[in-house]
């Protein structure tokens, strides 16, 4: 098995420890300490669940023993694909307690993605819910096991059929490891949005991630009286740690798991549970503002709304205080590390016009031109970063690592930003070819690869196009092999490729050629940029 690692140079690691960023705490310590201090307080509310911290700890320990009783060994990787259920927390804290490594997949992922995660992480087990939104995850698990037999165990929250029922786990605490995990080692694998091809795996350590969680909780003003609503998919880095349900657990607050982020589901939950804080992507924030105008539910307990994952335009940002009667906190983060926040007491212009400043005084931010030369202060450039919770490498991917990190260990975020005189970042765009569709990052290359497998497609180039609601949507330019099929046929065919629905192109344009006039070879990136320009020009009525 390829070892999981995340290594910082010794001098920096020593510095991060000295500063108290890395405290030698594990995820298991976090829950155990919290349960010791706040045992009777309400930890998590799910569909049918209301668990105190003591109960969450007990359930996590039972889960840990159950996973180990299956024969899984500390260090084994386990793909977790669960909706926002209370069990999401007992499963992942159980995995942490057993020193197993969660690999976080989204409920929207399908066979193609799960097989990739399972192979790349060398997973030994897969945790799913039975069925959700009309989709049967057990059928998916059968296909995954057929393709990756190394995924020996499937654990189901709900009706297990031939698999292992999570509910059948019994506490045999003698199975639990007696020594703690090493906090400087990898705790879990997060999935990258990915701009080139398939998603990369992001190894995060206990030390580095918990630092970002602890300080995020402070920056977002969380206390034991806070109630955090997990509206976005719990596997995503934003609701996980910015400040997210982990931030809430850090301070002994209550976490409410929402089965869907829609106002219909979330507003009654806010009213019933007295939710004080949540996080949304921009399209949902727009939807919530619209719905708040005529809702019968009392959502006045909401104090802070975090918005991030994609650019929240100032015109929309300005409306939050008035229409939702709460403080907006913009967050610009990435699963690879760096997270920026506007601060709750910042002046209005910084809150609405910027995407915040880094968590840590030791987050190093460089804004450079295409030759990696720093631009003048205030100018626009590519954002590079390194720091106490930003990764130094992806898991087992030399090519991506060579591309994504500088020789001195800065991560190339792919984002194009400028810095204000106050030191706040404004996201201006990005340099890489992914489509940010309502916060879901879609690799143009990955979608093109799928399209090229269609017999009627000669060539394909996928670009983003502005969308009032989604922020961006995908447009696929296709050169057909012969007579062009219909766009709907291509979409239906894409859906059959067992990929997440959000990767199916929103728009398909058939062209005879890409009409690139430049002499010589043109890169895929330049091609996509030219096609995108053509699309934008056409939208404005240019020829």
Taking the least distance from each CB to ligand OOB, the nearer of 51 and 341 is 341
Q: How far is the CB of 263 from ligand OOB (least distance, A)?
A: 21
Residue number with the shortest CB distance to ligand OOB?
Answer: 333
Q: How far is the CB of 252 from ligand OOB (least distance, A)?
A: 22
Taking the least distance from each CB to ligand OOB, the nearer of 46 and 337 is 337
Q: How far is the CB of 455 from ligand OOB (least distance, A)?
A: 33
Q: How many CB atoms lie within 10 A of CB 166?
A: 24
The answer to whether the beta carbons of residues 60 and 86 sit under 8 Å apart is no
Q: How far is the CB of 436 from ligand OOB (least distance, A)?
A: 6
Taking the least distance from each CB to ligand OOB, the nearer of 405 and 493 is 405
Show the CA angle centred on residue 136, arms to residues 130 and 142, nearest 5°. 90
The answer to whether the beta carbons of residues 286 and 316 sit under 8 Å apart is yes
Q: How far is the CB of 106 from ligand OOB (least distance, A)?
A: 10
Taking the least distance from each CB to ligand OOB, the nearer of 441 and 454 is 441
Q: Which residues pair with 459 in a beta bridge?
A: 479
Taking the least distance from each CB to ligand OOB, the nearer of 49 and 416 is 416
Q: HSE of 389 in the Cβ direction (CA atoms, 13 Å)?
A: 29
Taking the least distance from each CB to ligand OOB, the nearer of 184 and 242 is 242
Taking the least distance from each CB to ligand OOB, the nearer of 144 and 359 is 359
Query: The tokens of 409 are what?
Result: 């260990």
Q: Which of 509, 504, 372, 355 is nearest to 418 (CA)?
A: 355
Helices (H), 72-205: 86-97, 111-121, 137-147
Q: How far is the CB of 282 from ligand OOB (least distance, A)?
A: 8
Burial label for 352, CB within 10 Å (0-12, 13-18, 19+), is: buried
Contacts of 462 (CB under 8 A, 6+ apart): 435, 444, 445, 447, 448, 451, 474, 475, 476, 477, 505, 528
Q: Which of 423, 499, 436 is nearest to 193 (CA)?
A: 436
List of residues contacting ligand OOB (CB under 6 A): 193, 237-238, 242, 308-311, 330-335, 339, 355, 413, 415, 427, 430, 436, 439, 441
**Rounded alpha-carbon distances, angstroms, from residue 177 to 32, 151, 212:** 15, 22, 26
Taking the least distance from each CB to ligand OOB, the nearer of 237 and 276 is 237
Tell me if residue 264 falls in helix, strand or coil.
helix
Taking the least distance from each CB to ligand OOB, the nearer of 217 and 460 is 217
Q: How far is the CB of 152 from ligand OOB (least distance, A)?
A: 30
Q: How far is the CB of 239 from ligand OOB (least distance, A)?
A: 9
Taking the least distance from each CB to ligand OOB, the nearer of 90 and 216 is 216
d(C-alpha 399, C-alpha 404), whole Å = 9
Q: How far is the CB of 307 from ligand OOB (least distance, A)?
A: 7
d(C-alpha 62, C-alpha 146), whole Å = 29
Q: How far is the CB of 394 from ligand OOB (least distance, A)?
A: 12
Taking the least distance from each CB to ligand OOB, the nearer of 138 and 311 is 311
Query: The tokens of 338 are what?
Result: 């760096």
Taking the least distance from each CB to ligand OOB, the nearer of 91 and 232 is 232
C-alpha dihedral, 100 to 223 to 298 to 308, nearest 10°? -60
Tell me if residue 511 falls in helix, strand or coil.
coil
d(C-alpha 232, C-alpha 219), whole Å = 20
Percentage helix, strand, coil for the chain under 3-state DSSP, each rounded to 5 = 35, 25, 40
Q: Read out DSSP for 459-488?
A: EEEEEEEEETTTEEEEEEEEEESSS---HH
Q: How far is the CB of 413 from ligand OOB (least distance, A)?
A: 5
Taking the least distance from each CB to ligand OOB, the nearer of 62 and 190 is 190
Q: How far is the CB of 281 from ligand OOB (least distance, A)?
A: 8
The answer to whether the beta carbons of residues 206 and 100 sit under 8 Å apart is no
Q: How far is the CB of 296 from ligand OOB (least distance, A)?
A: 31
Q: How far is the CB of 415 from ligand OOB (least distance, A)?
A: 5
Chain centroid, CA 31 distance in Å: 22
Query: The tokens of 296 are what?
Result: 């019968």
d(C-alpha 245, C-alpha 235), whole Å = 11
Taking the least distance from each CB to ligand OOB, the nearer of 429 and 520 is 429
């Amino acid at each position: 098995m390829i070892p999981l690692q995340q290594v910082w140079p010794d001098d920096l690691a020593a510095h991060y420890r000295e500063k108290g960023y890395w405290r030698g705490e594990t995820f298991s310590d976090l829950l155990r300490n919290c349960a010791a201090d706040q045992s009777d307080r309400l930890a998590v509310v799910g569909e049918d669940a209301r668990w105190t911290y003591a109960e969450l700890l007990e359930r996590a320990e039972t889960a840990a023993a159950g996973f180990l009783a299956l024969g899984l060994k500390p260090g084994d990787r386990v793909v977790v694909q669960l909706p926002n259920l209370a069990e999401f927390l007992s499963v992942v804290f159980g995995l942490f307690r057993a020193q197993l490594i969660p690999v976080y997949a989204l409920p929207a992922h399908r066979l193609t993605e799960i097989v990739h995660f399972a192979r790349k992480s060398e997973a030994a087990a897969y945790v799913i819910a039975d069925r959700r939104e009309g989709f049967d995850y057990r059928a998916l698990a059968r296909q995954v096991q057929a393709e990756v037999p190394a995924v020996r165990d499937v654990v189901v929250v709900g009706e297990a059929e031939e698999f292992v029922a999570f509910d059948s786990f019994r506490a045999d605490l003698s199975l639990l490891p007696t020594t703690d995990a090493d906090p400087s080692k990898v705790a879990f694998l997060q999935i990258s949005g990915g701009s080139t091809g398939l998603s990369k795996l992001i190894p995060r350590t206990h030390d580095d991630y918990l630092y970002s969680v602890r300080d995020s909780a402070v920056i977002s003003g969380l206390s034991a009286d806070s109630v955090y609503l997990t509206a976005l998919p719990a596997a995503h880095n934003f609701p996980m740690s910015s400040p997210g349900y982990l931030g809430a657990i850090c301070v002994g607050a209550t976490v409410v798991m929402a089965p869907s982020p829609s106002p219909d589901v979330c507003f009654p939950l806010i009213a019933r549970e007295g939710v004080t804080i949540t996080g949304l992507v921009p399209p949902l924030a727009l939807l919530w503002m619209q719905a708040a105008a005529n809702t019968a539910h009392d959502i006045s307990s909401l104090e802070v709304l975090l918005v991030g994952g994609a650019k929240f335009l100032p015109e929309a940002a300005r409306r939050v205080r008035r229409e939702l009667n709460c403080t907006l906190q913009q967050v610009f983060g990435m699963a690879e590390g760096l997270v920026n926040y506007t601060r709750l007491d910042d002046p209005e212009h910084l809150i609405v016009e910027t995407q915040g400043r880094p968590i840590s005084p030791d987050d190093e931010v460089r804004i450079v031109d295409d030759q990696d030369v720093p631009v003048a202060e205030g100018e626009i450039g590519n954002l590079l970063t390194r720091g106490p919770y930003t990764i130094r490498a992806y898991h087992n991917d030399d090519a991506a690592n060579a591309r994504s990190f500088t020789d001195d260990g800065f991560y190339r975020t792919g984002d194009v930003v400028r810095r204000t005189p106050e030191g706040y970042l404004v996201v201006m765009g990005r340099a890489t070819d992914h489509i940010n569709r309502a916060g879901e990052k879609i690799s143009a290359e990955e979608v093109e690869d799928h399209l090229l497998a269609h017999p009627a497609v000669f060539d394909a180039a996928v670009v983003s196009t502005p969308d009032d609601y989604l922020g961006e949507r995908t447009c696929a330019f296709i050169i057909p092999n012969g007579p062009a099929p219909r766009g709907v046929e291509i979409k239906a065919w894409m859906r059959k490729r067992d990929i997440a629905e959000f990767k199916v192109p929103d728009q398909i344009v058939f062209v005879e050629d890409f009409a690139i006039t430049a002499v010589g070879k043109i890169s895929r990136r330049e091609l996509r940029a030219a096609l995108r320009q053509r699309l934008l020009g056409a939208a404005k009525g240019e020829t």
